[in-house]
Every structure is written in C-alpha cells, then in structure tokens.
Amino acid sequence: MTSTITEASEIPDERELPEPSVVESKDFSAANLFHTYAPLAGIAILALVLLVWAPNSLSSFRLGNLGKYCAWALAAVGIGLAWGRGGMLVMGQGVFFGLGGYVMAMHMKLEAAGPGNVPDFMVLYGDATMPSWWEPFRSGPFTLFAIIALPAFVSFVLGSAILKRRVKGAYFAILTQALAVAFATLLVATIKQTGGFNGLNSFTTVFGHNLFDPAIKKNLYLIVAGLLILCLLIVWQLSRSRYGELLVATRDAEERIRFLGYDPADIKLVAFVVAAIMASIGGAMFVPLVGIISPSDVDASASIMLIAGVALGGRASLLGPALGALAVGLGQSMLSEQFPTQWTYFQGALFIVVLLFLPGGVASLWSKLTGVFPRRSRAVGATTPEPEVVS
C-alpha cells in the first residue's frame, strides 16, 4: 500500500500516487473489506462512546454540554459534505442552524404560553398580538415538518440562484457569510416577532415533556447523539455512492464534469440542500438542550465556529467534521470559562492556523507523518489533494 511502483513495468512516466480507490464487489480480500468498512467501524465506535459510554458516565450537566456539541456536530457533518467533498465553503450555515432552531423555539414558546395565549415577549415588547405566521407552529407535527422542509426549500432556492450563476470559490464563501449576517440582523431588528437580540428562551416543555426532568434531558441527549450517528451514516452512503464520486469529481474539475453531460450546479445543489437540512436538525435539537436560541447562535461568528470545527477535524474525511465540531465545542466551554471574552480570537486563530498548516485537518495528520495516503472511505474524498482554501 505504501508503494505503487511495483508491477508497473509497462507504465512509463510513473509517479507515486495513491492506489486506486475502486473496490470491486468481486474482490473480497481482507484489505478491501477493511477499507470499505473501516469508516463504518469508526462510526460504530463513536456510537458506542456517545450512546453507551457517555450517558452512563457523565453527569447530567456534562451530558447536556455534550448534547450541545452534538447539535453543532450535526451541522458540521453537513458542512463536511458540502465543503469537503463538494468544494463549497459554506460560511453561513448559521442561517440553516437558525431556521431549525427558531422553528423549534417558536413551537416551545407557544407550548410555554399555553393554548390561545401569545408568547411572553410579545406582551413585553409589543401589543400582545401574535403575527399570523406563528400560528401553525402550535402544531407539533407541523413543527417537525418545518424543521426539514423550511431549510430544504430555502437552501434549494438560494442554492439554485447562486450555483446556477456559477458563483464559486471566495465569492460563494462571502455570499453565504453575508446571508448569515443578514439573517442575524433581521432577527435583531424584529424584536416583536422573533424576540430580537434576546432571542427565544424560558421554555418549560418540549412536545409536552418537562424540560427540567433529568430523564427527559437524558433522552434529548440520546436523540441528538442518535441523529448525529444517523447523519454520519447518510454521508457515508452518499460518499461511497456514484453520486459521491461525482461530487468529488465536480469539486476537482467542474468544467470537465460539464462535458460528461452533467450540470455541476445540480450536483452541488444536492449536497448544499442536504447540508442545510442537517444544520437545521442540529439547530432544532440545540434549543431544547440549551434552553435558548438568539441571533448570536446563528450569526457570522457562530457560522465560523462551525466551519472551524470542520477544518480542524478534516473537511474531506468522514468523521473529521463531527469530531472537530465536538472538540471545538469542548474547547469553547473550557476556554470561555477562563477567558470569557477572548474565545472568538482563539476560534479565529484556530481556523487560520489549521488551514495554513494542516489544510486536510487532523484527519490528514497520520498520512502526513507517515507519507502514506490513507485509503479511507473511497480514498478520493479522504485525501485532500489541493490545500486550496476556497476551491
């Protein structure tokens, strides 16, 4: 596996390159089985840690914190797909995180207010009348539907508009970042409808369950951890599918893909929408776990925190984005206890340092140190060939 120069006598102009990542179904050799199922084993280990070890070992407080990191990690897994494999540096995932979060928060706010009543902040800041578009969110099923459908719709419309116009690279990053800024500004400006700068908080129940009940808290944690594992499995299947190969090929040679008869915009749009839905689910789980969502959870700097975790873990690897987001979440908790105001600087510095010195993230450390290309998860995606930041 380290050397490809064997048996290549008939091939002139040979260079050291990764071994082909094709895993033929005919070939059931141990090595191939390992490389097909190693990512799956990684997910299984993470599942054991999150779903078995953590609930039995951590205090309720720590478990709640871990749940919050899992909510971020959900968004990060989507970013790994869109950025790591699709080459779209999505700098504004806070928008979709926020859509899911606010949808869930609106429902919980209405639950806390009780049937027929309006949320408390509308009495405080407004004239105690509720905008009509709040009304549907009294319904639990509608809320769950909206958590998926709203970001899917918004990302489809935005993605079509951006990608069909062939906006890419730095322009794509800046555009999505601007969306996050605009979204947060809009929330702040509409205090009577969305709670403004304070966001939405003081919830009591989630779908009829008492938020202060330790058993409910634990179940909420188990749900977010389970969803994280589920999303990892979805991305695993996507990346080993033909679509996954196509997405990586589009990332590396968009114009060439056009001459194979595909519209690159369509291929990227699928990844963009999937990433948006995952961010939205993360946001929706964030609210009952943390008890608040405010513009500062969805703005540009929150979006960069999500990206920083993905960059740290390794954007093109399967587990990298999730582990990176968990690590950044933990780092934020620990550092912000000691340096409450400086955390943002740490986070920005981390993002820059990782992209400068370790563009493939921690996931690429092993191959860097040993000089071996890992053949993980269909290899094409796992090894990031170009250390280009916004490609």
Partner 1 sequence: MTQSFRGEDYIEVRDLTVDFDGFKAIEGVDVTFMQGRLHFLIGPNGAGKTTLVDALTGLVQGTGRAEFRNENLLTMKSHKIVRLGVGRTFQTASVFEQLSVLQNLDIAAGLHRKAAGLLLRRRKVPESVERALETIGLTSLANRPAGILAHGQKQWLEVGMLLVQDAQVMFLDETVAGMSTEERDETGELLQRIAGDRTIVVIEHDMDFMRRYADFVTVMHGGKVLAEGTVVEIQADPQVQEVYLGTAGEVVANG
What binding mask, one character per residue, do residues 82-121 give for partner 1 by CB under 8 A, x or -?
----------------------------------------
- Give pairs for 236-242: CB < 8 Å, separation 24+: 236/39, 236/40, 236/43, 236/318, 236/377, 238/81, 238/274, 239/81, 239/85, 239/318, 239/377, 239/378, 239/381, 240/36, 240/377, 240/378
Burial of 333 (0-12, 13-18, 19+ CB in 10 A): middle
The stretch among 51-59, 94-102, 254-262, 339-347 that binds partner 1 (CB under 8 A) is 254-262
Contact 362, 314 (CB under 8 A): yes
Reduced to 3 states, what is the DSSP secondary structure of residue 99? helix
Interacting residues with partner 1 between 353 and 382 (CB under 8 A) = 379-380
The stretch among 99-107, 258-266, 306-314, 346-354 that binds partner 1 (CB under 8 A) is 258-266
Burial of 204 (0-12, 13-18, 19+ CB in 10 A): middle
What binding mask, one character per residue, do residues 260-289 give for partner 1 by CB under 8 A, x or -?
xxxx--------------------------
Q: Binding residue for partner 1 (CB under 8 A) from 3, 6, 15, 61?
A: 15
Q: Which residue, 38 or 246, is less far from partner 1 as judged by CB?
A: 246
C-beta of 251: minimal distance to partner 1 in Å? Answer: 11
Other beta carbons within 10 Å of 185: 12
| Chain-centre distance for alpha carbon 330 | 16
Interacting residues with partner 1 between 333 and 352 (CB under 8 A) = none
C-beta of 23: minimal distance to partner 1 in Å? Answer: 9
Amino acid 259 reads F
Q: Which residue, 165 or 258, is less far from partner 1 as judged by CB?
A: 258
C-beta of 24: minimal distance to partner 1 in Å? Answer: 8
- Overall residue count recorded for the chain in this entry: 391
Interacting residues with partner 1 between 19 and 78 (CB under 8 A) = 19-22, 24-26
Q: Which residue, 178 or 253, is less far from partner 1 as judged by CB?
A: 253
C-beta of 299: minimal distance to partner 1 in Å? Answer: 34
User: Does 256 interact with partner 1 (rule: CB under 8 A)?
Assistant: yes
C-beta of 19: minimal distance to partner 1 in Å? Answer: 7
Size of the site for partner 1 (CB under 8 A): 40
Where are the extended beta strands (E) located within the chain? 200-201, 205-206, 209-210, 292-293
Reduced to 3 states, what is the DSSP secondary structure of residue 205? strand
Distance CA 121, CA 135 (A): 16
Angle at the Cα of 212 from the Cα atoms of 209 and 214, rounded to 5 degrees:
90
Interacting residues with partner 1 between 223 and 252 (CB under 8 A) = 237-238, 240-243, 245-246, 248-249, 252
Q: Which residue, 276 or 307, is less far from partner 1 as judged by CB?
A: 276
C-beta of 249: minimal distance to partner 1 in Å? Answer: 5
Contact 113, 195 (CB under 8 A): no
The stretch among 6-14, 154-162, 189-197, 300-308 that binds partner 1 (CB under 8 A) is 6-14
Q: Binding residue for partner 1 (CB under 8 A) from 3, 9, 10, 30?
A: 10
Distance CA 212, CA 210 (A): 5
Q: Give the interface with partner 1 as residue ranges (CB under 8 A).
A: 4, 8, 10-15, 17-22, 24-26, 237-238, 240-243, 245-246, 248-249, 252-253, 256, 258-263, 379-380, 383, 385
